[in-house]
């Protein structure tokens, strides 16, 4: 293992060695967050799909665990989820500890089927269920995968949401015992973004922030390709779920993105986070199927996003799913530099950006751009590599440009300027997480998010603010070194 290679992130999860894609089997049990992931333990390209496994007590520092599930005669181990069998509905519990259930797709020569594995030792070891598979595909449609299971309290039974990928539908199943499943309904035909196949769903209820007693159901539906800037992306729908059918509250043509960057995919949430915590917590794969196999790392490929807390908030007239770094991330802040008030008339260089930063830091600031047309900030290094972030007030858009960010030639889909619509307002609050190979922007407490990976030949160690068509004022600007 080589933990020190150049593009190994400082504060994002990566596999010790080998290829990684989707997060899988995310469950909380007895003080521990589990994170499994699509893993090739034998090489750095997609192959030999297994479930790698890691655990954390704080969602920020992770400990690698032995591989949880290896391929077998039924096929490779594709994506899926995990839950705690609180009421021992499966009858698989053997001791004092509750049984953890992992639902995953077996991808074999005759198509994709759903299987179960369980753990009676708090997720340390996993046993495949003796009578796998537990749910099979239709004869004519072998693309059937990524089961996400949850306990539906109102109907007192399990619900599974699963992708019928090529049909661009999510199917719902129910079960009393977690083993035998009945089909309930399908959602998808003509709904939302349809530019690619549908994968990795999630479905959960969330409170509406600021409206006591109000809640909605959110259906996450990952899509590849067809994202806002090309390739893979996560869309979502807001509506209702009665235990059988999901109903979208928006117009079918309405498209909602969780993240507007190119590198946020297969995002799903943790199961069984205790009510005393109360958060809906998500993590995504920080890459894109367009170029994931080609990125210039050596001993490993791909990182996860930081763990993010989801909230349903009002943005303008709309209800949106905001995602924001978990509070625990602040623990990593060490050295801090701050500036109260910078008036930018044309441009303003900040040379003191942690001069010897190791490429892992965080910026928080507010931009008052009400007198200007474009307000921006450019991260740059001594090799002339830049990541440019800007807001166009006249267009109402936020951009991140990585066309000249460092190594970009490994795949011709990599160079990109990503964009997101933002409301016109007096003050934009930005939080920007920079790691050795990524930039994540959270605007308005995560109501607009943009995640992009980058490969600078040396860290971006300087920063420039600029403005066009009038002055911009930078307020409460802070730079934190992240441990």
Which parts of this chain interact with ligand FRU (CB under 6 A)? Answer: 21-22, 38, 49, 78-79, 105, 145-146, 199-200, 266
> How near is the Cβ of 284 to ligand FRU at its closest, in Å?
10
> How near is the Cβ of 192 to ligand FRU at its closest, in Å?
17
> How near is the Cβ of 35 to ligand FRU at its closest, in Å?
15
- Using the minimum distance from each CB to ligand FRU, give the nearer residue, 113 or 329: 113
- Using the minimum distance from each CB to ligand FRU, give the nearer residue, 79 or 174: 79
- Using the minimum distance from each CB to ligand FRU, give the nearer residue, 60 or 234: 234
- Assess contact for 266 and 21: CB atoms under 8 A: yes
22 is catalytic: yes
- Residues 375 and 454: their CA atoms lie apart, in Å, by 22
Q: Which of 4, 22, 72, 85 is catalytic?
A: 22
- Using the minimum distance from each CB to ligand FRU, give the nearer residue, 198 or 428: 198
> How near is the Cβ of 12 to ligand FRU at its closest, in Å?
18
> How near is the Cβ of 82 to ligand FRU at its closest, in Å?
15
- Using the minimum distance from each CB to ligand FRU, give the nearer residue, 77 or 422: 77
Q: Residue 164: which of 136, 145, 192, 187 has the closest Cα?
A: 145
Active site residues: 22
């Amino acid at each position: 293992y080589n933990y020190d290679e150049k593009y190994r992130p400082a504060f994002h999860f990566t596999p010790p060695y080998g290829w990684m894609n989707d997060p899988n089997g995310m469950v909380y049990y007895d003080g521990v967050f589990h994170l499994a992931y699509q893993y090739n333990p034998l090489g750095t390209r997609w192959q030999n799909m297994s479930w790698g496994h890691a655990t954390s007590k704080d969602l920020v520092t992770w400990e690698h665990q032995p591989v949880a599930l290896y391929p077998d005669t039924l096929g490779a181990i594709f994506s899926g989820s995990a839950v705690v069998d609180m009421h021992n509905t499966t009858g698989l519990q053997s001791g004092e500890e509750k049984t953890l259930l992992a639902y995953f797709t077996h991808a074999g020569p005759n198509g994709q089927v759903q299987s179960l594995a369980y753990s009676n030792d708090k997720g340390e070891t996993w046993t495949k269920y003796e009578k796998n598979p537990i749910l099979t595909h239709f004869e004519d449609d072998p693309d059937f995968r990524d089961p996400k299971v949850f306990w539906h309290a109102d109907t007192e039974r399990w619900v599974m949401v699963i992708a019928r990928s090529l049909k661009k539908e999510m199917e719902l199943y129910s079960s009393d015992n977690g083993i035998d499943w009945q089909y309930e309904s399908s959602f998808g035909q003509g709904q939302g973004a349809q530019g690619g196949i549908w994968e990795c769903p999630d479905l959960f209820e969330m409170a509406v922030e600021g409206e006591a007693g109000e809640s909605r159901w959110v259906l996450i539906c990952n899509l590849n390709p067809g994202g806002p800037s090309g390739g893979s992306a996560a869309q979502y729908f807001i509506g209702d779920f009665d235990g059988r059918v999901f109903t979208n509250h928006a117009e079918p043509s309405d498209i909602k993105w969780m993240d507007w960057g190119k590198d946020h995919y297969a995002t799903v949430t943790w199961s069984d986070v205790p009510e005393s915590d109360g958060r809906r917590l998500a993590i995504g794969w920080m890459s894109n199927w367009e170029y994931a196999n080609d990125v210039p790392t050596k001993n490993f490929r791909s990182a996860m996003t930081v763990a993010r807390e989801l909230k349903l908030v009002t943005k303008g007239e709309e209800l949106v799913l905001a995602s924001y770094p978990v509070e625990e991330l602040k623990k990593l802040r060490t050295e801090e530099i701050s500036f109260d008030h910078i008036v930018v008339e044309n441009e303003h260089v900040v040379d003191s950006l942690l001069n010897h930063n190791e490429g892992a830091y965080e910026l928080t600031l507010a931009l008052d751009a009400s007198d200007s047309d474009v307000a921006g900030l450019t991260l740059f290094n001594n090799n002339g590599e830049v990541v440019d972030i800007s807001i166009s007030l006249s267009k109402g858009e936020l951009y991140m440009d990585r066309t000249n960010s460092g190594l970009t030639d490994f795949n011709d889909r990599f160079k990109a300027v990503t964009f997101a619509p933002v409301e016109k307002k007096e003050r934009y609050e930005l939080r920007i997480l920079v790691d050795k190979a990524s930039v994540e922007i959270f605007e308005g407490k995560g109501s607009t998010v943009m995640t992009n990976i980058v490969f600078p030949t040396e860290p971006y160690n300087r920063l420039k603010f600029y403005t066009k068509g009038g002055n911009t004022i930078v307020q409460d600007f802070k730079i934190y070194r992240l441990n």
